[in-house]
Amino acid sequence: MPHVFVYGTLRAGEVNDLNAAARRHGIAAPTLLGTGTVSGRLYDFGTYPGLVLDAGGGPVLGDIYEIADALLPVLDEIEEVYPGQATLFVREQRDVLHHGQPLACLLYPVAEAAVATLPRIDSGDWVTYRRARDRAAA
């Protein structure tokens, strides 16, 4: 079973909650292993974040799940990743720090060029940032 690192709308309680996506498709619930971090920069696309992987970047916080193979196509659909097509997100495997140890995880980053004019999320935590942003706008 693959591990996946989710840093944005796939996190629990968010609009594309990974658990809800599995339920909708009749797929076994993913197993939450806990939180993790990856080096990079997070940007605000409005309704979702984008991660630029960057070894010199700060820690980006997310959740690590063990998922059924059947959930991968669902994640690709949510992230609009289609074989042979240029898309905003790509699926990659990278080491994510989990309890201080590297763990190979699938994740969905964006290219540097996609974030040129977007605000950076300095905290590296989409959920905390989105909640504060939404409260300020209300």
Give the Cα separation of 47 and 37 in Å (integer).
21
Mean pLDDT of 81-98: 92
Task: Tell me, yes or no, if 80 is annotated catalytic.
Answer: no
Whole-structure pTM over 0.75, yes or no? yes
Active-site residue, from 79, 80, 92, 112: 79
* Spatial contact of 10 and 17, defined as CB atoms under 8 Å apart: yes
Residue 18's pLDDT band (cuts 50, 70, 90)? very high
pLDDT tens-digit readout, 37-74: 999 999 999 999 999 999 889 999 999 999 999 999 99
- Domains of the chain: which residue ranges? 3-122
Sign (positive or negative) of CA dihedral 102, 107, 113, 119: negative
Q: Which CATH number fits domain 3-122: 3.40.50.300, 1.10.3720.10, 3.40.50.720, 3.10.490.10?
A: 3.10.490.10
Mean pLDDT of 82-102: 92
* Helix, strand, coil fractions of the chain, as percent rounded to 5: 25, 35, 40
* Spatial contact of 3 and 75, defined as CB atoms under 8 Å apart: no
* Spatial contact of 10 and 73, defined as CB atoms under 8 Å apart: no
**Whose structure tokens read 């240029």?**
86
The pairing of strands 101-107 and 49-53 is: unpaired
Give the Cα separation of 67 and 37 in Å (integer).
18
